[in-house]
A and B are shown apart, each in its own frame.
Chain A
Amino acid sequence: MTVAKDRADHAPATPSIDPDEVAKFSAMAADWWNPRGKFRPLHKFNPVRLRFIRDQAEKHFGIAPEARRPLDGLRLLDIGCGGGLVCEPMTRLGASVTGVDASEANIKTAMTHAGEQGLDIDYRAGTAEGLIESGEPLFDIVLNLEVVEHVADPHQFLKDTGGLVKPGGLMIVATLNRTAKALATAVIGAEYVLGWLPRGTHDWSKFVTPDEADAGLTAAGLVTEPAIGVSYNPLADSWKLSGDTKVNYMIVARRPAE
């Protein structure tokens, strides 16, 4: 009985939104989705990572590049989904999407926005660990985007969440490297000089090097590829994939088919 009780405590659940709260969450959703608002850096960054996810999924699952709904039939998990900036595009590309976020306010915001857009997304308030403990069926694609640098034990977190990937499935990790350049640009530059992010958004000492991320993913039984950098071009005010993994980088990991 104790086991069952633990599960009930941890299992992420879809919260219900009080009718009185709708206006509040609708306003918060408008904030999340405002390209000139406080999430502007995320909107700038989003197209390059969405493109990367689509390309990787096409390559991995052998999907035709011209497909209008390339992710049709695939079960996708977005860990730390926030207001749904990745869940909504993935749903439009055809995936059956589950989004988890530890913040219930984020989940309610994401639910409100998805409802307004007429998108069917399975949002749950809770943690990835909770999903594992509740025996959630595995996923074809697990997205671990800008989360690792915020958790207490990155190695254990990557090992645990790697376990949510189906045999023959794919995980994509995006995070920040623990280098002097990342401290100068992602923390001091973005938070203190440019004011792109609220101060204290990132704790540099918790950043994870590609080797450390690789070790966590390998411990989960995944096969990794070398990290790919994502760099900002200040003149074009846009992001692109690069060979420089010193600040932002992404890693693709696959679970071999059984």
Chain B
Amino acid sequence: MTKTAAQSDRVYDLAIVGAGPVGTTLAILAAQRGFSVILVDARDPNAPVRKDTRSFAIVRGSWRLLDAAGVTNAMRGSTEPLNGLEAIDGGTHWFGVPGVLFGNDDLPDDPDGQPLGQMVPAADLQAALDDACEKAGEIEWVQGKLFESMEIGPAGASLTLSDGRKIHARLVAACDGMKSSVRSAVGIQTEGHDYNQSVFAANVKLDRPHEGIARQLFTPEGPFATLPMPDNRANLAWYMKRGAAEAIAAMSVEDINAELNARFADFAGPMEIDGPYSAYPLVMQLATRMVGPRTALVGDAAHRINPLAGQGLNLGFKDVGALIDVMYDARDVGLDPGSDVSLERYEKWRRFDATAAAMFMDGIDRAFTNDSNLLKPLRGLALTLAQRVTPLRRAMARQASADQDHLPSLMR
């Protein structure tokens, strides 16, 4: 890596704006394939690091992509295998508690023995990716600078950064998140949905062994989910009406513990807050297009979905894998990887998947977050069917683990 000033006359194959997990992974994989890459990172290297206490569920397909980027070894030790997903209907039913559990046994055997997924602390993932960017000699890494504006020409884009520096590139990847400035600069609109829900997120110490199962309890007030973490801890997400989650987050740790155990000890066993906690509003947002001239939206810049099953980042990694395939295949036959002709394939490939994922998560949330007497038997039946009908359960497992056809080559 070179942290020197970018040469102003150089034209890069790819300028990446945003150095989160999606941007850095894209940088590493593109540089590996011989594309010249410049990475614009808003983080100030001299600022104190604020520890990210979230954890990501990295499903099997995404893990393969990270393996190709050479960062999985650095994360071993801090990860927790994700062996299964369980969904339980917590509404009141006439008999029994409908639920579905699918796991490793429902998936095709993985040559490396990988489970359905891995739970990775966000800070460890970012550290491993930053380290790999640093070691990749081919990435020009501009730190502590923001994207300001962009001009599009027939053969590329010229970006202006917050220090006035100009960067020229054939393709710009907007990896700058939900409030993407690159997306605004190219005039791509978004459509959104505010669930009027908020999420209370925290890490807890569990009493009962979690066995690597991500568990979701659907209650009429909203879902309650625990994602397994090392040392029998869990990353919990508790969905509530807007305002309620914020109110919980304002309480004392003792009161929160009391509240959690009173409501969810039956489901998750006794638990205790372990580390910082917060509340944030839940919104869905989809860009109306995945591409603009000389621009590809990647990850949250293109789609922000309900984080219910931890699919958001995995959707972003699918974007990364698809963009790498599109760029590689275009260059291989002499086409310009940043041209409209190449980006058209990326748009077609990713837009449907992103929309479908957003709608699906939206539908699940709506179907379960109510106590309607009409929906209750239906969703009970759906869960029971999913549990009893093996092909259905397997299809869900493959979808959730990103282990299926039409995947980017690095995720297969």
Chain A residues engaging chain B, CB cutoff 8 angstroms: 26, 30, 33-36, 43, 46-47, 50-51, 54, 68, 88-93, 113, 116-118, 237
Q: Is the interface of B mostly helix, strand, loop or mixed?
A: loop
- Given known A-B contacts A33-B340, A35-B340, A35-B341, A90 and B155 have beta carbons under 8 A apart: no
- The minimal Cβ–Cβ distance linking A51 to chain B, given in whole angstroms, is 5
CB-contact partner of A88 in B329, B331, B334, B348, under 8 A: B334
A117 touches B155 (CB 8 A): yes
Chain B, 347-367, contact with A by CB distance < 8 Å: what is the 0/1 string?
010000000000000000000
Chain B, 172-184, contact with A by CB distance < 8 Å: what is the 0/1 string?
0000000000000
> Which chain A positions have C-beta within 8 A of B332?
51, 54
Q: How large is the interface on B (under 10, 10 to 19, 20 to 34, 35 or more residues)?
A: 10 to 19
- The minimal Cβ–Cβ distance linking A77 to chain B, given in whole angstroms, is 16
Chain B, 26-51, contact with A by CB distance < 8 Å: what is the 0/1 string?
00000000100000000000000000
A33 touches B341 (CB 8 A): yes
A47 touches B329 (CB 8 A): yes
- The minimal Cβ–Cβ distance linking A99 to chain B, given in whole angstroms, is 14
A117 touches B34 (CB 8 A): no
> Which chain B positions have C-beta within 8 A of A117?
154-155, 336
Closest B-chain residue to A34, C-beta based? B340
B341 touches A89 (CB 8 A): no
Interface-central residue, B155, B335, B339, by most chain A CB under 10 Å: B335
Closest B-chain residue to A68, C-beta based? B34
- Which 3 A-B pairs give the minimum distances between C-beta atoms? A89-B334, A50-B333, A116-B154
B155 touches A36 (CB 8 A): no
A47-B341 Cα distance, complex, nearest whole Å: 10
Q: Is the interface of A mostly helix, strand, loop or mixed?
A: helix
- Given known A-B contacts A68-B34, A117-B154, A118-B155, A43 and B341 have beta carbons under 8 A apart: yes
A50 touches B154 (CB 8 A): no
A88-B341 Cα distance, complex, nearest whole Å: 13
A21-B294 Cα distance, complex, nearest whole Å: 26
A50-B34 Cα distance, complex, nearest whole Å: 21
CB-contact partner of A51 in B154, B331, B333, B348, under 8 A: B333
Show 11 A/B contacts (Cβ-Cβ < 8 Å), sorted by A.
Answer: A26-B154, A36-B344, A47-B335, A50-B333, A50-B334, A51-B332, A54-B333, A92-B331, A92-B335, A113-B154, A116-B154
B336 touches A91 (CB 8 A): no
A183-B56 Cα distance, complex, nearest whole Å: 55
CB-contact partner of A50 in B153, B335, B340, under 8 A: B335
Interface-central residue, B153, B154, B333, B348, by most chain A CB under 10 Å: B333
Chain B, 299-339, contact with A by CB distance < 8 Å: what is the 0/1 string?
00000000000000000000000000000010111111001
- The minimal Cβ–Cβ distance linking B336 to chain A, given in whole angstroms, is 7
A36-B119 Cα distance, complex, nearest whole Å: 41
> Which chain A positions have C-beta within 8 A of B336?
88, 92, 117
- The minimal Cβ–Cβ distance linking B225 to chain A, given in whole angstroms, is 37
> Which chain A positions have C-beta within 8 A of B331?
92
> Which chain A positions have C-beta within 8 A of B329?
47
Residues facing A in B370-397 (CB within 8 A) are none
> Which chain B positions have C-beta within 8 A of A43?
341, 344
- Given known A-B contacts A34-B340, A35-B340, A47-B329, A89 and B155 have beta carbons under 8 A apart: no
A113-B336 Cα distance, complex, nearest whole Å: 13
Closest B-chain residue to A85, C-beta based? B341
A91 touches B340 (CB 8 A): no
A21-B301 Cα distance, complex, nearest whole Å: 40
CB-contact partner of A92 in B153, B334, B344, under 8 A: B334
A89-B332 Cα distance, complex, nearest whole Å: 9
